[in-house]
Structure 1
């Protein structure tokens, strides 16, 4: 089933319940307005079929159509024509007419907005002219007490049915929005935060450190010789290494720690309320866990990590400077032998991030 057909069927299902409820109770509104004119038997049969059969037929037509969405929009136009027809047949009796046509208009504007509402209004007028021409009723007859009572269920129950449908749609949209937000901030391969989302949180944490004087550390993690792993074992194994490291990060860090994929074979971590010594201890354990792990299929594959840590300090002017210090610490870890955790040296600046031999 293609996407457009699935959406069309979903639209038809959403309209099925309010149409069924509305026509079922609307029958009594129309019947109360038509009764004083003593219509013939065929009119009562038509009212019953419209009230209790049309909703099921409309759903069946949409379900069997190649384009359910277009079919359901046509059904809404038919609703408006039929509603207008009964309004004309009852001589535009004020209360029943307003009740029936306003419910139809509610459907149209909910399903297609103002433009479709205007199309529905045109259909209602057409139906009213046809109904008035066939029955030639007395126009604007007095509203009876029975007609008032017959209109009340329509005025109370039908809006509740529409409200329930709208509530369910709102819940579905909320869930879809949350899923899209998660997709937009998640790295598809590792399941960790992506580069942009992590850097946004880094800025938030930096501001918290400035205003709340919190201890905090940021770390950059690089897989040593990752290009050689890809060249030797292939990119599928390389991807598995990235996934395994993300799993180790998720399992070995606290819930408050914020891990992400910085790009390529580089990962990043924010460790809130953590001193440099505590952050070093956590990441040293992480480094040992990865280095000591033996791949079940490729026992000769050994993975090691170079990690650079930078604690927050008052000398830092912005989040980029903080990240730069972690970057320089990572440079030191790679340039002094790799497979180690190195702390930042505040004030040290390097013009080039990494020379080619350390990539």
Structure 2
């Protein structure tokens, strides 16, 4: 409900200024068309109320509502009702009547699509019947030069205002879509790519290397004894360690390197266009920086990393096999005492590729 209300407030705010402009320039067309008919004084008072006060009343009314979006749609239906009334009051003078009715309908199309257009058309018809009941059924098919000129601001300024609102909405939606896209591919704790998105990028990189005989290296990084850190100091400290490592990764890597959180305390990196030696140096630097971690509140806490590397080669059947190769190197680093970088060492036997047990 809070989310719906938030969207409703934004919707009300976007319509506020265009309604003020539309009512202001609309009064010019209505005044020019009403004057020759000599309507009763209450019609002039109603025009001032509808043109000057109503935009502010509608805004406050919708903003104070528990459902501002629906309240604003109600306001748009009232706008349609009044447009129909003014068309009848102007004795259906073609240019000003069609101008006001079409602009209100344009509002309904932009704000609510077909359902609001249908409700608005019914409201317009009701307004016309109300106007004819109060002022009599009259028809004036001739528009004077003054009435033509008085309708021009409505025909030019209001569509520009509505177009500007539509542009702002499109920009806002594009930004919102980008934020959603970022959230869908990013790990919320570390800000790195999440498991699914990183593996998708690994598959793409594998295909590129396979097709172009390119170079790339995959690294799997594991925080040594992370479960003990969580059990000893708590998950808050554990999360702090994970964020620290992600920060070190971002600072240590190139813009083209792709770092992600593989899961739990395990991280992953793709080094495109990189030799195994350069990737090994980068991971050694990361390991040393992690080892220098210092928490003033927990001076005894130390971090070490075990890292496995695997360089791409054409004998891999798919990206999963490439990743398994890096995982074997990571396991070997742990088996050899942890706190080290290990590089996968494939062994070629004839035309077949195998790894030493």
Residue 221 of structure 2 corresponds to 221
Residue 166 of structure 2 corresponds to 166
> Is contact 2:108-2:120 (8 Å) kept?
yes
Residues 294 and 142 (structure 1), Cα distance of their counterparts in 2 relative to 1, 3 Å cut: closer
Give 1:349 deviation, angstroms: 5.2
1:293 and 1:7 map into 2 onto residues whose CA distance is: 44
Residue 88 of structure 1 corresponds to 88
- How many residues in Structure 1 have an aligned counterpart in Structure 2? 351
> Is contact 1:186-1:194 (8 Å) kept?
yes
Residue 132 of structure 1 corresponds to 132
> Is contact 1:328-1:349 (8 Å) kept?
no
Give 1:85 deviation, angstroms: 0.3
Aligned partner of residue 268 in structure 1, secondary structure: strand
The 5-angstrom pairing of residues 244-263 of structure 1 reads 244-263=244-263
Residue 65 of structure 2 corresponds to 65
**1:292-336 per-position Cα deviation (integer Å, ceiling 9, x unaligned):** 333322222222111110111111232112111111111111122
Structure 1 residues without counterparts, runs of 5 or longer:
352-359
> Is contact 1:90-1:137 (8 Å) kept?
no
> Is contact 1:307-1:341 (8 Å) kept?
yes
Residue 233 of structure 2 corresponds to 233
Residue 147 of structure 1 corresponds to 147
1:133 and 1:83 map into 2 onto residues whose CA distance is: 15
**1:3-24 per-position Cα deviation (integer Å, ceiling 9, x unaligned):** 4433322222111111111110
Moved more, 317-326 or 75-84: 317-326
Residue 357 of structure 1 corresponds to none
1:188 and 2:181 matched: no
Aligned partner of residue 297 in structure 2, secondary structure: coil
Residue 334 of structure 2 corresponds to 334
**Aligned-pair RMSD on alpha carbons?**
1.8
2:263 and 2:189 map into 1 onto residues whose CA distance is: 11
Residue 349 of structure 2 corresponds to none
Structure 2 residues without counterparts, runs of 5 or longer:
347-352
Residue 28 of structure 1 corresponds to 28
Give 1:106 deviation, angstroms: 1.1
**1:179-234 per-position Cα deviation (integer Å, ceiling 9, x unaligned):** 11111111111111110111111112122212333211010011111112212222
2:228 and 2:28 map into 1 onto residues whose CA distance is: 79
Aligned partner of residue 261 in structure 1, secondary structure: strand
Give 1:245 deviation, angstroms: 0.9
Residue 271 of structure 2 corresponds to 271
Residue 105 of structure 1 corresponds to 105
> Is contact 2:94-2:143 (8 Å) kept?
yes
2:301 and 2:60 map into 1 onto residues whose CA distance is: 60
Give TM-score, length-normalised by structure 1: 0.93
> Is contact 2:73-2:116 (8 Å) kept?
no
Residues 224 and 87 (structure 1), Cα distance of their counterparts in 2 relative to 1, 3 Å cut: same
> Is contact 2:21-2:158 (8 Å) kept?
yes
1:343 and 1:155 map into 2 onto residues whose CA distance is: 71
Give 1:283 deviation, angstroms: 0.5
Give 1:279 deviation, angstroms: 0.6
2:175 and 2:356 map into 1 onto residues whose CA distance is: 46
> Is contact 1:328-1:350 (8 Å) kept?
no
Aligned partner of residue 242 in structure 2, secondary structure: helix
Give TM-score, length-normalised by structure 2: 0.93
> Is contact 2:345-2:355 (8 Å) kept?
no
**1:41-91 per-position Cα deviation (integer Å, ceiling 9, x unaligned):** 332222222222211121122233333223222211111111100111222
Q: Runs ≥4 in structure 1, deviation > 4 angstroms? A: none
The 5-angstrom pairing of residues 264-343 of structure 1 reads 264-343=264-343
